[in-house]
Structure 1
Amino acid sequence: MKFISGLLIGLQLLSLNGCSSLLYYPDSRTYLDPGRIGLEAENVWIRNPESALIHAWHFPAQKEGKLLKPKAMIVFFHGNAQNITSHYLMLAWLLEYGYSYTIFDYRGYGWSRGKPSPKSTLEDGHTVLKYVHEKYPELPLVIFGQSLGGAVALRTVIDLKKEIPIRLVVADSTFESYQNAAQDVLARVWLLWPFQLLTHVLLSDEYAPEGRMGEISPTPLVIMHGDRDGTIDIERGKELYRNAKEPKEFWLTSGGGHTDAFASPQSPARTKLLRKLAETCP
Structure 2
Amino acid sequence: MIRFSILTRLICFFALMLNLSGCQSLFFWPTPELVDSPKRFGFSYENVEFQSSDQTRLHGWYLSSTLSGENSRGTVYFLHGNATNLSYHIANLYWLTEYGWNVFIIDYRGYGRSEGEPDFQSVIQDASSGYQWLRDRGEENIIVIGQSLGGAIATGMLGLNQDIRVSGLILDSTFASHREIFRDILGKSWLFWGLQIPLSWSISDDYAPQNFIAALSHTPLLIVHSDADTVINKKHSESLYAQAGGVKRLWIAQDLQHGAIWQDKYWQQQLICQLAQWPKLMPAEHACSTSASQN
- The alignment's TM-score, normalised by the length of structure 1, stands at 0.88
Match of 1:278 in 2: 276
TM-superposed CA distance for 1:179, in Å, is 1.0
Question: Map of 1:208-219 to 2, 5 A cutoff?
Answer: 208-219=208-219
With over 3 angstroms needed to count, the CA separation of the structure-2 counterparts of 1:105 and 1:24, relative to structure 1, is same
| Gapped regions of structure 2 (runs ≥ 5) | 1-7, 281-295
CA distance in 1, matches of 2:13, 2:28: 18
CA distance in 2, matches of 1:33, 1:257: 21
TM-superposed CA distance for 1:10, in Å, is 5.8
TM-superposed CA distance for 1:280, in Å, is 2.0
Match of 1:3 in 2: none
Question: Map of 1:76-155 to 2, 5 A cutoff?
Answer: 76-137=78-139, 139-155=140-156
**Which deviations, in whole Å up to 9, do the C-alpha atoms of 1:38-94 show, x marking residues without a partner?**
21111101111221111100011116xx69631101110000001001001100111
Equivalent of 1:21 in 22, 25, 29? 25
TM-superposed CA distance for 1:226, in Å, is 0.2
| Partners of 2:182 and 2:200 within 8 A in 1 | no
| Partners of 2:12 and 2:23 within 8 A in 1 | no
Equivalent of 1:57 in 31, 50, 61? 61
Match of 2:230 in 1: 230
| Partners of 2:222 and 2:251 within 8 A in 1 | yes
Paired AA for residue 107 in structure 2: D
Match of 1:240 in 2: 240
Question: Map of 1:157-236 to 2, 5 A cutoff?
Answer: 157-160=158-161, 162-236=162-236
Paired residues, what number? 271
With over 3 angstroms needed to count, the CA separation of the structure-2 counterparts of 1:134 and 1:9, relative to structure 1, is closer
Match of 2:251 in 1: 251
Paired AA for residue 30 in structure 2: P
TM-superposed CA distance for 1:133, in Å, is 1.7
**Which deviations, in whole Å up to 9, do the C-alpha atoms of 1:97-133 show, x marking residues without a partner?**
0000110011111111111111111111111112212
| Gapped regions of structure 1 (runs ≥ 5) | 1-5
SS in 2 for 1:262: helix
CA distance in 2, matches of 1:198, 1:134: 45
CA distance in 1, matches of 2:112, 2:236: 28
Moved more, 144-153 or 255-264: 255-264
CA distance in 1, matches of 2:35, 2:249: 33
Paired AA for residue 73 in structure 1: T
SS in 1 for 2:75: strand
